[in-house]
Structure 1
Amino acid sequence: MNSAKNITELKLPRSSDKWAKYKLGALAEIRSASRVHKEQWTEYGVPFFRTSDVIAIHKGKQNNKIFISKELFEKLSNKSGKVKKDDLLVTGGGSIGVPYLINNNEPLYFKDADLLWLSCNDMLYGPYLYQFFLAPIFRRYLAKTNHTGTISHYTIEQAKATPITLPSLKEQQKIAEFLTSVDKKISLLTEKHFLLKDYKKGVMQQIFSQQIRFKDDDGSAFPEWEEKTLRSLFDWIRTNNLSREKLSDNVTALQNIHYGDIHTKYHSQFVQTRENIPYVVDAEIDKLVSQADFCKNGDIVIADASEDYADIGKAIEIINVKEGTLVAGLHTYIARPKNKFASGFLGYLFQFNGTRRQVQKLAQGVSVLGISKGNIETIKLSVPHIDEQQKIAEFLQSLDKKIDAVNDQIEQTKLFKKGLLQQMFV
Structure 2
Amino acid sequence: KQHKKGLMQQLFPAEGETTPRLRFPEFREAGAWEVKRLGEVCCFLKGKGLPKTAITPHGVAPCIHYGELFTDYGEVIRDTKSYTDSTNNCVKSEEEDVLMPTSDVTPNGLAKASCIKEKGVVLGGDILIIRANKQLAFGEFLSRYIRYKEQDVLRYVSGTTVFHLYSSSISKLKIALPELEEQQKIAHCLSSLDEVIGLESHKLDALKNLKKGLMQQLFPQEVA
In the alignment, the residues of structure 2 paired with residue 199 and residue 304 of structure 1 have an alpha-carbon distance, to the nearest angstrom, of 30
- Aligned with residue 398 of structure 1, among 179, 192, 201: 192
Which residue pairs with 1:267 in the alignment?
74
1:214 corresponds to 2:12: no
In the alignment, the residues of structure 2 paired with residue 291 and residue 301 of structure 1 have an alpha-carbon distance, to the nearest angstrom, of 16
Shift of 1:347: 2.3
Deviation larger for 410-419 or 364-373? 410-419
Shift of 1:241: 2.1
Q: Which has the larger radius of gyration?
A: 1
Q: Cα gap change, 1:343/1:234 in structure 2, threshold over 3 Å: closer, same or farther?
A: closer
Shift of 1:299: 0.4
In the alignment, the residues of structure 2 paired with residue 356 and residue 372 of structure 1 have an alpha-carbon distance, to the nearest angstrom, of 15
Structure 1's unaligned 5+ residue stretches are 1-196
Shift of 1:400: 1.6
1:236 corresponds to 2:80: no
Shift of 1:339: 2.5
Aligned amino acid, residue 328 of structure 1: L
1:333 corresponds to 2:128: yes
Q: Deviations over 1:104-139 (max 9, x none)?
A: xxxxxxxxxxxxxxxxxxxxxxxxxxxxxxxxxxxx
Which residue pairs with 2:33 in the alignment?
225
Specify which structure has the higher proportion of helix.
Answer: 1
**Do 1:214 and 1:222's aligned partners in 2 also have CA atoms closer than 8 Å?**
no
**Do 2:138 and 2:184's aligned partners in 1 also have CA atoms closer than 8 Å?**
yes
Shift of 1:377: 0.9
**Do 2:141 and 2:184's aligned partners in 1 also have CA atoms closer than 8 Å?**
yes
Shift of 1:199: 2.2
Q: Cα gap change, 1:370/1:220 in structure 2, threshold over 3 Å: closer, same or farther?
A: closer
**Do 1:297 and 1:318's aligned partners in 2 also have CA atoms closer than 8 Å?**
yes
1:345 corresponds to 2:146: no
- Aligned with residue 298 of structure 1, among 86, 96, 115: 96
Aligned amino acid, residue 214 of structure 1: R
In the alignment, the residues of structure 1 paired with residue 90 and residue 38 of structure 2 have an alpha-carbon distance, to the nearest angstrom, of 25
The residue correspondences of 1:132-151 to structure 2 (distance < 5 A) are none
TM-score, structure 1 normalization = 0.47
Aligned-partner SS, 1:259: coil
Aligned amino acid, residue 413 of structure 1: L
**Do 1:239 and 1:329's aligned partners in 2 also have CA atoms closer than 8 Å?**
yes
- Aligned with residue 311 of structure 1, among 98, 101, 109: 109
Aligned-partner SS, 2:36: strand
Which residue pairs with 2:82 in the alignment?
278
**Do 2:46 and 2:125's aligned partners in 1 also have CA atoms closer than 8 Å?**
no
**Do 2:96 and 2:131's aligned partners in 1 also have CA atoms closer than 8 Å?**
yes
Shift of 1:266: 0.5
Aligned-partner SS, 2:109: coil
Aligned-partner SS, 2:110: coil
Which residue pairs with 1:258 in the alignment?
65
Shift of 1:420: 4.3
Q: Deviations over 1:300-340 (max 9, x none)?
A: 01111112122114110113x2x43x121121111111124
Structure 2's unaligned 5+ residue stretches are 14-18
Size of the aligned set, in residue pairs, is: 214
Q: Cα gap change, 1:423/1:278 in structure 2, threshold over 3 Å: closer, same or farther?
A: farther
Deviation larger for 372-381 or 385-394? 385-394
Q: Deviations over 1:78-98 (max 9, x none)?
A: xxxxxxxxxxxxxxxxxxxxx
1:413 corresponds to 2:212: no
TM-score, structure 2 normalization = 0.84
RCO greater where, 1 or 2, for CA within 8 Å and sep 6 or more?
2
Which residue pairs with 1:369 in the alignment?
163
The residue correspondences of 1:94-133 to structure 2 (distance < 5 A) are none
Q: Cα gap change, 1:260/1:212 in structure 2, threshold over 3 Å: closer, same or farther?
A: same
Aligned sequence identity (%): 26
Aligned-partner SS, 2:115: strand
**Do 2:90 and 2:123's aligned partners in 1 also have CA atoms closer than 8 Å?**
no
The ranges of structure 1 where at least 4 consecutive aligned residues each deviate by more than 6 angstroms after the TM superposition are none
Which residue pairs with 1:204 in the alignment?
8
In the alignment, the residues of structure 1 paired with residue 90 and residue 188 of structure 2 have an alpha-carbon distance, to the nearest angstrom, of 36
In the alignment, the residues of structure 1 paired with residue 138 and residue 102 of structure 2 have an alpha-carbon distance, to the nearest angstrom, of 25
In the alignment, the residues of structure 2 paired with residue 413 and residue 378 of structure 1 have an alpha-carbon distance, to the nearest angstrom, of 46
Aligned amino acid, residue 291 of structure 1: C
**Do 1:214 and 1:391's aligned partners in 2 also have CA atoms closer than 8 Å?**
no
Shift of 1:222: 1.6
